């Protein structure tokens, strides 16, 4: 805003003098951030109403009018040198740095914070606004790994600690070495030792301190009471990695990795699940050395009783050791008995197209597998009292080829039985269930009888194929689907991460960040429920079936008032297509409802603020033909 406008606002309310600079920053062309609506750009000023106009990038909020005084604590106006402003004005330059110079770009971002210091949450917010949630998360994950080795940045050991731009570069391994010696907690000591190993490209730099590091680690592993057995095994491997240059046989250092396996022999799957993913292969290799006579039996047990990641690693391990026949025999036997657990089923579906497993798993992609999948989803939904997602149900919805691959090997009767099992399964949201049923019908049209007929499943399907439907345009339907997809894949996961970060900040009763994140969660989940409900009721159309002799959904109506001579032209479209500025009405609006079914020369009465007007239908046309 120009100085004259700002002066008038302050003259009207002298308390705004302290906010003068913030008001002056609200100039045309300035980028800004709204907490709920994201990044926008101030596009102008509406003098009549004293409003700034903002074009927000999310949704369709163009020229959105906002009271500048109200915006003082709602809208963050960015200066021209802010990274988001620079990206919007010169995307080529910033996109180039994003791809080729991620660390330099991060240092530019960090340098703009006071004292070159910012929390992980502050940085993630800027990065997500700069790149979008999905791309920003991926970029940030990759960049953090590079920052660990950069001497210009002090990388925190905890999420609650800040990133700091150093005045003088310091070798990260020297800083971590000091933290290791200062640290008293055993688990944290192991993690610091692991960082030390990952960072020290030249082990000669650590030669003087390495004996003391190994001694301290060994003491922590043997004496600490707060370490789990998985922590000890993790620590042993970290210690052994560091000791390889100074010990002839690290496997003999006490405590040994074999000793941990012997102590946990009764429940190796639990121990395996607690190990970091990068040690999974090492864990399996250890099993073969500790149990040379029965390692195959143990690894099959691990495959069937661990999480998806470890199950997959076990399958890789067996194939690499030319035990494919053993693997397929075990999977086939458990499939026949219908005792395959969800993690194994999830791995089979995810990796069935991978060249290493394709030929092996292709034989198992049968209707029998889908029966196991539905049973596993049903079981998990009954065990799951919260709204936690079910990964197996999600992958069925996301994998467009799976049903075709499986059902093509069965019969129409198989398909009907599976369709009924799907209808009765409580582990799917209604919208997902409807989408999956459509895939059944595409392959076997006769399954429509299961849905529409009077069979055993018809009463359950009534809630899915409800008559309380909404007629919508295909474009508005696609937009709602895109909005729901963005909620499910970006906004809700980002909010869940924000809640976890805020939870680490301490006392939840006085934790403003946590309360704000939880409030946002309520809004997002309410929006998710609203979109799912709307989409369940929606019937997309291109309006080609609009009648030509009466007003229908998809009609253009010409009206005239015999009393005043005034004329109006309205287009009646779907439930979500209202655009009053262009005289496009949803058929659900009061006027839309009055017009439906009327013909040329019929009269329609409207009332606005107590004034009744009679309108005559002068002409009709189909919107699709216009």
Separation CA 422–CA 598 (nearest Å): 43
Strands (E), 398-469: none
Percent of the chain with pLDDT over 70: 91
What are the beta bridge partners of residue 471?
A: 539
pLDDT of residue 584: 93
| Cβ contact 396:421 at 8 Å | no
Nearest-5° angle of CA 432, CA 435, CA 436? Answer: 85
Q: How confident is the model at residue 162 (pLDDT cuts 50, 70, 90)?
A: very high
Show me where the domains of the chain are located. Answer: 3-78, 84-165, 470-541, 555-625
Separation CA 89–CA 611 (nearest Å): 50
In three-state secondary structure terms, 291 is coil
Separation CA 578–CA 288 (nearest Å): 67
pLDDT of residue 457: 36
pLDDT of residue 504: 63
With a cut of 70, say whether residue 456 has pLDDT above it. no
Residue of higher predicted confidence among 41 and 250: 41
Structure tokens at 280: 């999974």
pLDDT of residue 415: 85
Residue 331, phi then psi, degrees to nearest 5? -65, -40
With a cut of 50, say whether residue 464 has pLDDT above it. no
For 115, the enclosing helix (H) or strand (E) is: none
| Cβ contact 62:23 at 8 Å | no
With a cut of 60, say whether residue 454 has pLDDT above it. no
Residue of higher predicted confidence among 456 and 608: 608
CATH tag for 470-541 (out of 1.10.1760.20, 3.40.50.1220, 1.25.10.10, 1.10.287.180): 1.10.287.180
Check if CATH label 2.30.30 holds for domain 3-78: yes
With a cut of 50, say whether residue 99 has pLDDT above it. yes
Mean pLDDT, the chain, rounded, equals: 84
pLDDT of residue 419: 85
In three-state secondary structure terms, 38 is strand
Task: Collect all residues with Cβ–Cβ distance below 8 Å to 357 and sequence separation of at least 6.
Answer: 315, 319, 351
pLDDT, average across residues 220-240? 88
What are the beta bridge partners of residue 38?
A: 34
Separation CA 176–CA 195 (nearest Å): 7
Among the ranges 179-183, 452-456, 508-512, 571-575, which has the highest mean pLDDT value?
571-575
Tokens 């399996």 belong to residue:
284
Q: How confident is the model at residue 389 (pLDDT cuts 50, 70, 90)?
A: confident
pLDDT, average across residues 184-199? 85
In three-state secondary structure terms, 576 is coil
pLDDT of residue 176: 80
pLDDT, average across residues 512-530? 80
Query: pLDDT per residue over 63-76, tens digit each?
Result: 888 888 888 888 88
Query: Which of 303-312, 337-346, 435-444, 582-591 is predicted least confidently?
Result: 435-444
pLDDT, average across residues 147-153? 84
Q: How confident is the model at residue 353 (pLDDT cuts 50, 70, 90)?
A: confident
CA 30 to chain centre: 30
pLDDT, average across residues 360-372? 90
Q: How confident is the model at residue 487 (pLDDT cuts 50, 70, 90)?
A: confident
Query: pLDDT per residue over 533-569, tens digit each?
Result: 788 778 888 888 888 889 999 999 999 988 888 899 9
pLDDT of residue 458: 37
β-strand pairing of 470-473 with 538-541: parallel
Separation CA 463–CA 161 (nearest Å): 50
With a cut of 50, say whether residue 433 has pLDDT above it. yes
Task: Collect all residues with Cβ–Cβ distance below 8 Å to 205 and sequence separation of at least 6.
Answer: 171, 173
pLDDT of residue 442: 82
Per CATH, 3-78 and 555-625 having the same topology is answered no
β-strand pairing of 38-46 with 51-56: antiparallel
pLDDT, average across residues 589-609? 86
Sign of the CA dihedral with 197 first, then 200, 203, and 206 last: negative
Structure tokens at 553: 């959904």
Task: Collect all residues with Cβ–Cβ distance below 8 Å to 621 and sequence separation of at least 6.
Answer: 555, 556
Tokens 């292709």 belong to residue:
362
- What are the residue ranges of helices labelled H in 183-323? 186-199, 210-223, 229-243, 257-263, 268-273, 280-290, 295-305, 308-320
Query: pLDDT per residue over 253-297, tens digit each?
Result: 888 899 999 999 989 999 999 998 889 999 999 999 999 999 999
Taking the chain, what is the end-to-end CA distance rounded to the nearest angstrom?
43
pLDDT of residue 466: 38
CATH tag for 555-625 (out of 3.40.50.2300, 3.10.20.580, 3.10.580.10, 3.10.50.30): 3.10.50.30
């Amino acid at each position: 805003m120009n100085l004259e406008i700002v002066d008038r606002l302050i003259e009207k309310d002298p308390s705004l003098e302290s906010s003068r600079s913030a008001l002056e920053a609200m100039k045309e062309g300035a980028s800004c951030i709204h907490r709920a609506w994201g990044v926008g750009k101030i596009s102008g000023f509406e003098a009549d109403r004293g409003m700034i106009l903002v074009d927000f990038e999310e949704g369709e909020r163009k020229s959105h009018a906002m009271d500048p005084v109200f915006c003082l604590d709602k809208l963050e106006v960015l200066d021209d040198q802010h990274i988001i402003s620079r990206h919007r004005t010169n995307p080529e330059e910033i996109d180039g740095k994003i791809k080729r110079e991620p660390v330099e770009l991060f240092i530019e971002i960090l340098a703009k914070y006071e004292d070159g210091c910012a929390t992980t949450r502050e940085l993630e917010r800027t990065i997500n606004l700069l790149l979008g949630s999905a791309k920003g998360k991926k970029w940030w994950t990759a960049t953090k790994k590079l920052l660990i080795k950069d001497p210009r940045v002090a990388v925190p050991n905890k999420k609650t600690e800040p990133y700091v731009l150093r005045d003088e570069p310091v070798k990260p391994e020297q800083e971590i070495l000091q933290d290791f010696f200062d640290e008293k907690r055993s688990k944290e000591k192991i993690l610091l030792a692991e960082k030390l190993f990952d960072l020290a490209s030249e082990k000669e730099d650590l030669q003087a301190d390495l004996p003391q590091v190994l001694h301290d680690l060994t003491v922590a592993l043997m004496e600490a009471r707060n370490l789990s057995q998985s922590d000890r095994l993790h620590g042993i491997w970290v210690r052994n990695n560091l000791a390889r240059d100074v010990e002839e046989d690290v496997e003999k250092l006490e405590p040994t990795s074999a000793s941990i396996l012997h102590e946990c022999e009764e429940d190796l799957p639990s121990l395996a699940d607690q190990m970091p993913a990068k040690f999974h292969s090492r864990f399996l290799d250890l099993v073969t050395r500790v149990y040379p006579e029965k390692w195959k039996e143990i690894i099959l047990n691990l495959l069937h009783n661990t999480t998806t990641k470890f199950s997959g690693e076990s399958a890789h391990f067996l194939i690499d050791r030319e035990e494919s026949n053993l693997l397929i025999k075990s999977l086939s036997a458990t499939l026949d008995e219908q005792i395959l657990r969800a993690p194994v089923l999830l791995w089979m579906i995810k990796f069935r197209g991978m060249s290493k497993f394709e030929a092996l798993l292709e034989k198992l992609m049968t209707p029998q597998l889908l029966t196991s999948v539905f049973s596993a989803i049903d079981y998990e939904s009954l065990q799951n009292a919260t709204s936690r997602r079910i990964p197996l149900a999600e992958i069925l919805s996301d994998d467009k080829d799976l049903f075709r691959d499986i059902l093509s090997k069965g019969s129409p009767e198989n398909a009907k039985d599976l369709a009924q099992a799907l209808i009765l399964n409580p582990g799917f949201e209604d919208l997902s269930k409807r989408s999956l049923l459509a895939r059944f019908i595409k392959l076997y049209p006769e399954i429509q009888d299961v849905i529409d007929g009077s069979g055993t499943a018809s009463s359950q399907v009534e809630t899915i194929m409800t008559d309380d439907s909404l007629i919508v345009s295909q474009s508005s339907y696609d937009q709602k689907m895109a909005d729901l997809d963005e909620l499910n894949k970006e906004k809700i996961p980002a909010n869940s991460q924000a809640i976890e970060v805020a939870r680490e900040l301490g006392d939840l009763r006085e934790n403003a960040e946590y309360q704000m994140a939880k409030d946002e969660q309520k809004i997002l989940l309410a929006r998710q429920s609203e979109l799912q409900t709307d989409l369940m009721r929606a019937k997309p159309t291109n309006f080609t079936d609009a009648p030509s002799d009466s007003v229908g959904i998809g009609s253009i109506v010409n009206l005239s008032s015999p009393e005043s001579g005034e004329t109006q032209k309205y287009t009646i479209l779907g439930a979500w297509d209202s655009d009053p500025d262009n005289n496009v009405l949803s058929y659900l609006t009061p006027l839309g409802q009055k017009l439906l079914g009327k013909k040329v020369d019929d009269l329609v009465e409207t009332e606005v603020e107590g004034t009744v007007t009679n309108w005559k239908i002068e002409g009709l046309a189909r919107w699709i033909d216009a």
